[in-house]
Chain A
Amino acid sequence: MSTAASVSDEALRVTDAQGNARSPRNDWLFRNLCLSAVLAMMATLIGLVGSLVSGGWMALSHFGFSFFTTSTWDPVADQYGAAGPIVGTLITALLALVFALPIAVGVAVFLVEICPQIIARWLAIAVELLAGIPSIVYGMWGLFVLAPWFAQNVQIPLMTWVTPGSWLEAIVSGVPNGANIFTASLILAVMILPYIAAILRELLMSVPSHMREAAYGLGCTPREVVMRIMLPYVRRSAIGAVMLGLGRALGETMAVTFIIGNSHNFPHSLFDSGSTISSTIANEFTEATGDMHISALIALGTVLFMITFVTIALARLLLGRGGPK
């Protein structure tokens, strides 16, 4: 017994790649190195929140609640009310979701349940790759292709067609240049579409095949299998996926900045130019004139942080660990 112990002692003098003899101290060091990396990341998040609140405090305390309820954004008079950008952010993101969601569901169902699997695999890869294209590309397309086309073929015909004074006219009035809330939402929709579709597809794939097969065995049509078995099965995570897409639309900067028209007024119609929180920050931050202007922009950032944090946190809670990277 004792000889065996001494032999193993000899054999166990392992060294790692750096030539350090193994020792409890060595492990302690590495463990705490890893832990400090984790803490550094958390410090980043705390620093992010802290810097947003402290940077925006001047504007928030000066304007108080009227910062959220008024829409005068006037750097010359140093008067800032953020209702325009805040409402613009919410409207564009929600509209984008309305456009994108039905199509994303359709794509996911088509890829999982209907399309031959050989083609579906390639289409799925294409969809996922498209989800990775930088948003500035979408923004440029919106500015150079969608906006002129939209003004020419949708906006102007609509404006000449509607009867003046009707409610329809109120909805479609605006400068016919294609840069407005509606087209910004369209671009956002195209951008979040592959993103949501990719997550939904993975969710649908995760439905156990015995459930699908049991339903088919009972004589269900594909529609019934999808609507009554598969979608209800992943309902919770699917809502999470949708909210993640919403979070992305809320915080998106470049795709929107190009095309929303950048007016700080409260948007009066669907085709009115507007702004979002992120487009306002992107446009004005480097040219901000005074401390109050900068502070107001950072306060806008704080608002955006709160909106997106709640959305994303809810989404992640619903998605659980299965969420995308």
Chain B
Amino acid sequence: MTAPVERYDRLLHLRRKFYNSVFLVLTGIATLIALTALFLILETLVVKGLAGMDSHVFTMSQPAPDEQGGLLNAIVGSLVMCGFGMVIALVVGILAGTWLAEYGDGTRLAAIVRFLNDILISAPSILIGLFVYQLLVRPFHGFSSLAGGVALSLLAMPVATRATEDIMRLQPYALREAGMALGANRGLVIRAIIWRASTSGLMTGALLSFARISGETAPLLFTSLGNPFLSFSLTQPMAALPTTIFQFAMSAYDDWQRLAWAGALLIAAAVLATNILGRALTRGSMQK
């Protein structure tokens, strides 16, 4: 590279080399800072979380301060409301994504919907909580797990829609043509061929939207509120892991703070596991 050219500027060469080294070092430092910060957080989470973990966490409900107890009511509540939210979100999201990918493609409505959906994906979740409060809590005069589930479903819906559309678009057009050549109508082609070919992708989408909502706190604060007792009722307030963690962490009791860390570790582990599972499912079936 340094073949002597007529006007070889040694100084320029050195300067460029110098700037380049500085640049490389700076990016390395940036990466180091980022990894250190994130490592510190994970380390605290794991150490304090494991310290708070014992068998009671899974078998007993929320304790009074200074008593034995666990997070059973919160874990159950989270599962119930996330499950409820996921069912609604998946039904609506998959159908809406299907319309965007198959029927609405190229129309003005589809372009608008796609844009607004992308905005909804990143909208602050606390606003969804305010909305559901006015929709389901105020008119019926009471916090309920139903409202919490609906709030979570509204958060997961845009994610599921986007994932469905993206995955269905990846299916080769020849598949659709082959189905239609056999005489199936469009709806049948979609349901019997395209959906089936996209199964693993759809499951990834479902897992990603689950990961998205399972750690959400803000939309539950004033919809499902929280409940110190184990409850399965859709019309009563219900505890959830994130809201319980929030309440416990803000409290002045050591026991509660200990449980809060255990709960935080549980949630983070669940979210990470879901994300990893989703990625593993996608591998090979869809390249992105």
| Interface, chain A (partner B; CB < 8 A) | 8, 11-12, 14, 16-17, 22-24, 26-27, 29-31, 33-38, 40-42, 44-45, 47-48, 51-52, 54-55, 102-107, 109-111, 114-115, 123, 125-130, 132-141, 143-145, 190, 193-194, 197, 219, 221-224, 226-227, 244, 247-248, 250-254, 257-258, 278, 281-282, 285-286, 297-298, 301, 304-305, 308-309, 312-313, 315-316, 321, 323, 325
Contact = CB atoms under 8 A, between A and B. Distances in A.
Main secondary structure of the interface of A (DSSP, over half): helix
Contacts of A41: 92, 96, 113, 117, 120, 157-158, 161
A38 B187 contact: no
B152 interface: no
Contacts of A244: 122
B192 A17 contact: yes
B268 to A, nearest CB: 5
Interface size class of B (residues with CB under 8 A): 35 or more
A312 B37 contact: no
Main secondary structure of the interface of B (DSSP, over half): helix
A129 B157 CA distance: 21
B267 A134 contact: yes
Given A27-B187, A41-B158, A133-B268, A250 B131 contact: no
A250 B188 contact: no
Interface of B: 1, 16-17, 19-20, 23-24, 26-31, 33-35, 37-38, 40-41, 44-45, 48, 91-93, 95-96, 98-100, 102-104, 109, 113-128, 130-131, 133-135, 154, 157-159, 161-163, 166, 182-188, 190-192, 208, 211-212, 214-218, 221-222, 225, 242, 245-246, 249-250, 257, 260-261, 264, 267-268, 271-272, 275-276, 279
Contact of A134 (B190, B192, B216): B216
A135 B271 CA distance: 12
Contacts of A138: 41
Given A26-B185, A38-B99, A138-B41, A17 B23 contact: no
> Which 3 residue pairs of A and B lie closest in terms of their CB atoms, listed nearest first?
A106-B30, A134-B215, A251-B124
Given A254-B218, A301-B127, A27 B99 contact: no
A105 to B, nearest CB: 7
A136 B24 contact: no
Given A41-B113, A129-B276, A286-B225, A51 B183 contact: no
Given A22-B183, A38-B96, A51-B135, A114 B28 contact: yes
Contacts of A286: 221-222, 225
Contacts of B215: 133-137
B161 A252 contact: no
A251 B127 contact: yes
Given A105-B30, A132-B211, A219 B124 contact: no
Contacts of A29: 187
A222 B20 contact: yes
A109 B27 contact: yes
Given A30-B190, A254-B218, A313-B119, A282 B126 contact: yes
Contacts of B33: 103
B268 A282 contact: no
A325 B188 contact: no
Given A51-B135, A129-B272, A134-B242, A248 B122 contact: yes
